[in-house]
């Protein structure tokens, strides 16, 4: 007897995938492998300085292994089961976000991590897929919910944004706020609600910048980094030098000069600058084409979705993956103020990597369930009988003879 017969909540016929989920899966793998290669190149000098050039690379491989386990579980699990645990995961990580402000480890002025042995866990990164799931679940059935449930979850979403802002992490707060707002917009919520939340978000961002001096200095250095080239403008200037040095075809893989302790945090927030230097305009253009293809496929999945919740999950994942990538690129190229936002599937960081792979898996799962060529429901396959169905059959009374 096949072991799959005893797992009723898993979709086990992966050979019948349609074109869209197949393309999304391969696009995710290409994104991941290119990002891993660039992270290896960007982090090697820093690792070599501490005695092991592969130090960050090996730790990233561990995060990828954990993320791929979750990735493969999620692309084979029906979305209704995943949504069943989304509220619990969201609330748990919300508590973790506030806990980091008390006992979290401080790194580069931000208190956003828990230290677990040799690893750092960042709840504000891990909460992103749960935010997508829960916002899609709430906004997707908004009209059927009572005002008590609506206000409860709006309050929880607001607490999440406030908690991330207190760490402080303005960039992640802005990204999560934009994801919530765009999911609500796609759900068709009244413009009065959307306008009010947009004004509130702008007020919080302005308040945060006004009371934190380092955020004000970042904004000023973004407007004119050469006014203070050795302090606030140093990072952006080095990033622009790296991108400009790449030229049309790049310096070649592993041959970046700016990563040799000129460009700070070159393997996390500014990894795109190293990528642009080594692969040039051609590489940047190819990466942008890949992002456009990913966003297009996500919109196709959203259009083909069978219900509102699935459609909103696809849109939310697109905002997190593609929107965050564009924000990171905007920072590296000087189009946006300098912020600490990782490039999905590129930047070093276990929490970011796992969160990105989980988000990608959710989009692929929605694509599978939305496609006409996806696997038939378990109840329609005579070879696969769930425990619940078998038990129901056994309990049916037999006709008397």
Give the pLDDT confidence score for residue 101 in this predicted structure.
Answer: 87
Give the pLDDT confidence score for residue 78 in this predicted structure.
Answer: 92
What average pLDDT does range 385-400 have in this prediction?
43
Identify whether 168 is preceded by a cis peptide bond (ω within 30 of 0). yes
pLDDT band at 204 (very low <50, low <70, confident <90, very high): confident
What average pLDDT does range 36-65 have in this prediction?
95
**Do the Cβ atoms of 362 and 312 come closer than 8 Å?**
no
Give the pLDDT confidence score for residue 16 in this predicted structure.
Answer: 63
What average pLDDT does range 323-342 have in this prediction?
90
**Do the Cβ atoms of 201 and 349 come closer than 8 Å?**
no
What average pLDDT does range 315-341 have in this prediction?
92
Note the pLDDT tens digit of each residue in 150-187.
999 999 999 999 999 888 888 899 999 999 999 999 99
Give the pLDDT confidence score for residue 167 in this predicted structure.
Answer: 87
Quote the CA–CA distance of 213 and 210 in Å, as a whole number: 7
pLDDT band at 202 (very low <50, low <70, confident <90, very high): confident
Domain boundaries, the chain: 14-370
Give the pLDDT confidence score for residue 213 in this predicted structure.
Answer: 74
Q: Element (H or E) spanning 236, and its range?
A: helix 234-246
What average pLDDT does range 347-368 have in this prediction?
96
Give the pLDDT confidence score for residue 399 in this predicted structure.
Answer: 45
Quote the CA–CA distance of 10 and 235 in Å, as a whole number: 47
- Model pTM? 0.87
Give the pLDDT confidence score for residue 5 in this predicted structure.
Answer: 40
What average pLDDT does range 333-352 have in this prediction?
91
Give the pLDDT confidence score for residue 219 in this predicted structure.
Answer: 73
Asked if residue 354 has pLDDT above 50, the reply is: yes
Instruction: Please give the share of the chain, as a percent, with pLDDT higher than 70.
Output: 88
Give the pLDDT confidence score for residue 73 in this predicted structure.
Answer: 96
- Give 291 or 4, the one with higher predicted confidence: 291
- Give 389 or 283, the one with higher predicted confidence: 283
Quote the CA–CA distance of 133 and 383 in Å, as a whole number: 32
**Residue 250: partners with Cβ closer than 8 Å, 6 or more residues away:** 276, 277, 278, 279, 280, 281, 282, 283
What average pLDDT does range 234-244 have in this prediction?
93
Give the pLDDT confidence score for residue 203 in this predicted structure.
Answer: 85
- The candidate with the shortest Cα–Cα distance to 370, out of 313, 316, 322, is 313
Residue 160, helix vs strand vs coil: helix
Asked if residue 126 has pLDDT above 70, the reply is: yes
Give the pLDDT confidence score for residue 61 in this predicted structure.
Answer: 97
How does DSSP assign 36-89, residue by residue?
A: HHHHHHHHHHHHHHTT-TTHHHHHHHHHHHHHHHHHHHHHTS-HHHHHHTHHHH
Asked if residue 90 has pLDDT above 60, the reply is: yes
Quote the CA–CA distance of 363 and 317 in Å, as a whole number: 6
Quote the CA–CA distance of 292 and 329 in Å, as a whole number: 14
Backbone phi and psi for residue 105, each to the nearest 5 degrees, phi listed first:
-85, 135
What average pLDDT does range 57-78 have in this prediction?
96
Alpha-carbon 285 to chain mean position: 22
Give the pLDDT confidence score for residue 75 in this predicted structure.
Answer: 94
What average pLDDT does range 110-119 have in this prediction?
84
Average confidence score pLDDT of the chain: 86
Give the pLDDT confidence score for residue 314 in this predicted structure.
Answer: 97
pLDDT band at 260 (very low <50, low <70, confident <90, very high): very high
The owner of tokens 């960050």 is 56
- Give 169 or 213, the one with higher predicted confidence: 169
Asked if residue 3 has pLDDT above 50, the reply is: no
């Amino acid at each position: 007897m096949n072991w799959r017969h005893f797992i009723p909540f898993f979709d086990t016929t992966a050979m019948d995938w349609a074109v869209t989920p197949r393309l999304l899966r391969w696009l995710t793998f290409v994104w991941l492998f290119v990002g891993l290669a660039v992270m290896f190149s960007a982090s090697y000098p820093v690792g070599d300085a501490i005695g092991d050039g592969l130090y960050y690379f090996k730790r990233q491989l561990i995060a990828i292994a954990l993320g791929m386990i979750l990735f493969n579980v999620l692309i084979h699990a029906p979305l209704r089961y995943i949504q069943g645990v989304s509220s619990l995961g969201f609330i748990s990580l919300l508590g973790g976000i506030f806990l980091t402000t008390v006992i979290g480890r401080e790194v580069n002025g931000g208190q956003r991590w828990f230290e677990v042995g040799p690893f750092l866990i960042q709840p504000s990164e891990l909460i992103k897929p749960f935010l997508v799931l829960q916002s899609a679940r709430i906004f997707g059935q908004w009209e059927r919910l009572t005002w008590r449930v609506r206000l409860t979850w709006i309050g929880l979403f607001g607490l999440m944004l406030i908690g991330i802002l207190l760490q402080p992490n303005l960039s992640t707060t802005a990204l999560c706020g934009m994801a919530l707002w765009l999911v609500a917009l796609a759900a068709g919520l009244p413009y009065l609600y959307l306008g009010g939340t947009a004004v509130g978000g702008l007020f919080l961002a302005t308040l945060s910048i006004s009371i934190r001096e380092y955020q004000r200095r970042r904004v000023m250095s973004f407007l004119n980094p050469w006014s203070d080239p050795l302090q606030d403008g140093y990072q952006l200037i080095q990033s622009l030098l790296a991108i400009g040095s790449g030229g049309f075809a790049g310096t070649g893989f592993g041959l970046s000069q700016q990563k040799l302790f000129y460009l700070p945090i070159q393997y996390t927030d500014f990894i795109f600058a190293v990528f642009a230097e080594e692969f040039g305009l051609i590489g940047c253009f190819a990466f942008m084409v890949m992002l456009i293809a990913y966003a297009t496929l996500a919109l196709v999945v959203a259009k083909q979705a069978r219900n509102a919740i699935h459609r909103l999950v696809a849109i939310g994942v697109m905002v997190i993956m593609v929107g965050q990538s564009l924000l990171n690129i905007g920072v590296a190229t000087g189009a946006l103020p300098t912020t600490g936002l990782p490039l999905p599937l590129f930047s070093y960081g276990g929490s970011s990597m796992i969160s990105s792979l989980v988000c990608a898996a959710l989009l692929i799962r929605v694509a599978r369930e939305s496609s006409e060529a996806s696997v038939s429901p378990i109840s329609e396959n005579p070879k696969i009988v769930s425990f619940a169905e078998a038990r129901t059959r056994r309990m049916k009374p037999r006709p008397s003879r």
